[in-house]
Amino acid sequence: MNKKIQLQDLGNKDYQETWAYQEELFKGIVDLKIQNRREETTLETPNYFLFVEHPHVYTLGKSGDFSNLLLSEKQLEAKGATFYKINRGGDITYHGPGQIVGYPILDLENFFSDIHKYLRFLEEAIILTLQEYGIECGRSDGETGVWLGAGTPFARKICAMGVRASRWVTMHGFALNVNADLGYFDNIIPCGIRGKAVTSLNVELGVEKVNEAEVKAKILKHFSQLFEAEFITF
């Protein structure tokens, strides 16, 4: 089993371009697995992890409700935002500057064959990262992602998650609000959940800006420990 993960930070990159790149990496792993099965070979499958920050964009999961987008096409354009219906799970979410987006494209058979465990590990990597900043956070029953004040009237989501998996290969991932402009969330019903707020790390810490490179390093540390993996740059 290959537990090395190739890490790439794409910086600020268009959502559609990044989605196409994910699909390319994803297909490469799936095709290799099909070849291994067909030809009875044992060629090693690669794993990837992409960090990226997107320009303002709203994405709707395959089972999402379009009515959770509260903007018309003209209003989207006026806000400098784009919209895509995509092939991950989950409902609608926002990506934009000040948000750390992570796309693990893994062959889970290199680690464990359990999608539920995979999602819990993604959440745990973020929870452990936020705890390093003194943030009390956790899970909310029946709602994927990472929350503050779950189960209280003050519940607020700080990290959204949505994944796709086929033949135990993953794509899409998580979006952690670090220095995000929360006003953009007012234009949607985030994740299709009414009556719950969204927050960002800088807001919770009461600071103007959090060091995003530091947050990324902490995420990678916890991710590698949970998955017993080693990151290499490519």
175 is in an annotated binding site: yes
Residue 18 — very low, low, confident or very high, per pLDDT cuts 50/70/90? very high
Residue 190 — very low, low, confident or very high, per pLDDT cuts 50/70/90? low
- What residues have CB less than 8 Å from 46, skipping those under 6 apart? 2, 6, 28, 29, 107
Q: Which residue has the tokens 């800006």?
A: 209
Q: Which string of DSSP letters, residue by residue, matches 8-67?
A: EEEEE--HHHHHHHHHHHHHHHHHHHHHHHHHT--PPPP-EEEEEEPSSEEEE-TT--GG
Please provide the distance, in angstroms rounded to a whole number, between the alpha carbons at the two ends of the chain: 19
Coil, helix or strand at residue 226: helix
33-37, 110-114, 142-146 — which is least confidently predicted?
A: 142-146
Residue 172 — very low, low, confident or very high, per pLDDT cuts 50/70/90? very high
Domain residue limits, the chain: 4-233
Over pLDDT 90: what percentage of the chain? 74
The pLDDT value recorded for residue 24 is 98
State the average pLDDT over residues 135-163. 91
Half-sphere exposure of 75 (CA within 13 A, CB side): 9
Q: What fold is seen in the domain 4-233?
A: BirA Bifunctional Protein; domain 2 (3.30.930)
Token pair belonging to 30: 């799936």
State the average pLDDT over residues 160-183. 95
Q: Are 58 and 93 in contact (CB under 8 A)?
A: yes
* Phi and psi at residue 111, to the nearest 5°: -125, -65
160 is in an annotated binding site: yes
9 is in an annotated binding site: no
* Phi and psi at residue 212, to the nearest 5°: -70, -35
134 is in an annotated binding site: no
54 is in an annotated binding site: no
Residue 227 — very low, low, confident or very high, per pLDDT cuts 50/70/90? very high
Q: Which residue has the tokens 């402009």?
A: 181
CA–CA separation, 24 and 177 (whole Å)? 27
90 is in an annotated binding site: yes
Please say if the pLDDT value at position 186 is more than 70.
Answer: yes
Active site residues: 191
209 DSSP assignment: -
Please say if the pLDDT value at position 191 is more than 70.
Answer: no
46-50, 83-87, 96-100, 192-196 — which is least confidently predicted?
A: 192-196
